[in-house]
Chains A and B, each alone.
Chain A
Amino acid sequence: MNALPKPKVSRRPAIPLVWVVPLFALLIGAWMLINEYRNHGPEIVIDFEDGSGIAVGKTRLVHKGVAVGVVLGAKLKPDLSGVSVRLRLDRDAASLATEGAQFWVVQPEISFGAVRGLDTILTGARINVNPGRGAPARHFIGLERPPLPRGRDGSRSFILSGDRLGSINPGSPVFYREVKVGIVESSRLSDDSTAVLIRCRIEAPYVDLVRANTRFWNAGGFAFKVGLFGAELKNTSLESLVSGGIAFATPDTVPLAAPAPEDTRFELAREADKDWLAWKPKIPLHSPEQSARQPKAPALAPLLPSAGKPE
């Protein structure tokens, strides 16, 4: 006889399996909400003198090309001296808001010598930041114009005094043999208003080019001279033609004069003497990167095979 097959007894779980669904929904929903609010970083307040271009909910805080915060609100300060802009940072950008951070509004700018922030024509203004180094802070004073690029370690500033400013602006280049080696940082009248003081910064690898007896001159614009023996057109470079600039040369005395220390004051001549342009001192350049990473060969050596050979 065939025995009947054993009956299959299914044991129902006490709680139907379908209750897993709301459990999952609860976990996922909670995770989504937590994730959203975890991304919120601190709120900071920046005071600007002028709030044009800043739109609530639209203007972003951008650092290194990435949006890391958004404007939550903008209102006049009680004494009408400016506007307070409230921003919320992303969580991972919280460390930008530390003491010494510089904030400024980027708007399209087209002028002789510089075209900046063109993308903001379409996107509206944005706020840029130079992160600070100190303790976390929540309240900042915004800059009215973009700060000059920060000098790298080892750069040096000098003060030039001339009888007129010419077309030199903050950001104008400083040339050595028509190579850009630094920028003009600021300019002002001297205390007795008899001269113009210009502060310029020479970048690290080139600081040794400036010696105690170096001569500076205004290289902006161009000079056109017509004389008895023909015409002469002088200019340094197209860049200095439109934005102004300063050039310098160091005499090739033997031995060379000592390197000029920080904040040395020089005369700024209106134009170069002929013999200044003929000076050819041999000054070894010490770039921090080269001494650290590359033992000997300068970066240009493969491109310019004769650069290292003595003439």
Chain B
Amino acid sequence: MNRPPEPSSAFHRTAAFALAAAFMLLPANLLPILHTEMAGDIRTDTIWTGIVELYSNGLWPLALIVFIASLVIPFLKLAGLGVLLLSAHRGVPRDRLYALTRLYAFLDVIGRWSMLDVFLVAILAGLVRFGAPAQVVPLPGIVAFAAAVALTILATRAFDPRILWASVPAESPSTETSG
């Protein structure tokens, strides 16, 4: 069932999805994601102003979680994918293969945790609908953010660690013939 993947196809798909994710991350962080009206307190938040608001309200553990999940992880993932792609393109020294494969496994695991913000906005917008006194409206930024996170997950899935192994320069033929 599983055909051996073509290394170049995996490479292109990962690179394309990662680039798309980077493009979506820009509006995701610049545009407002949430508009809330609670008892006359009207505000429109981007991801960053939301974190600052949480922090200034004394909820710094929550601010830290949102900061890591919504800001750090997406960029970290893109950077990690960039490292993997660059390594596969240039060729990997044999002794770094293990570390890179671990990096790939790590990226695969943390990916979905960035959906925290999307999840939060979806729940709030669905639950808080009282009209004038309290209202939560999702704004376009959250769509871009969800798209960016989904694209980084796709990019990680499209990546095939075997292209790392295939890129190892065949400098010591003796070890290959021994098998």
Contact = CB atoms under 8 A, between A and B. Distances in A.
Nearest to B13: A18
A18 B17 contact: yes
Given A22-B17, A26-B20, A58-B41, 18 more contacts: A18-B13, A19-B16, A22-B19, A25-B19, A25-B23, A25-B24, A25-B147, A26-B23, A28-B24, A29-B23, A36-B27, A36-B31, A58-B40, A122-B40, A122-B133, A123-B37, A123-B40, A124-B42
Interface in B121-144: 132-133, 140, 144
Nearest to A26: B23
Contacts of B132: 119, 122-123
A189 B17 CA distance: 77
B92 interface: no
Interface of B: 9, 12-13, 16-17, 19-21, 23-24, 26-27, 30-31, 37, 39-44, 132-133, 140, 144, 147, 151
A21 B24 contact: no
Q: Describe A's contact surface by its main secondary structure.
A: helix
A60 B39 CA distance: 15
Contacts of B24: 25, 28-29
Interface of A: 16, 18-19, 21-22, 24-26, 28-29, 32-33, 36, 57-58, 60, 119, 122-124
B30 A21 contact: no
A22 B39 CA distance: 42
Contact of B31 (A16, A26, A33, A60): A33
Contacts of B30: 33, 36
A33 B16 contact: no
Nearest to A67: B42
Contacts of B42: 57-58, 60, 123-124
Given A122-B132, A123-B40, A123-B42, A32 B16 contact: no
A22 B20 CA distance: 4
B13 A16 contact: yes
A24 B44 CA distance: 27
Contacts of A26: 20, 23
A106 to B, nearest CB: 14
A134 B21 CA distance: 48
A25 B21 contact: yes
B42 to A, nearest CB: 5
A122 B9 contact: no
27 contacts: A16-B13, A16-B16, A18-B16, A19-B16, A21-B16, A21-B151, A25-B20, A25-B23, A25-B147, A25-B151, A29-B27, A32-B27, A32-B31, A32-B140, A32-B144, A33-B26, A33-B30, A57-B44, A58-B41, A60-B42, A122-B40, A122-B133, A123-B37, A123-B40, A123-B42, A123-B132, A124-B40
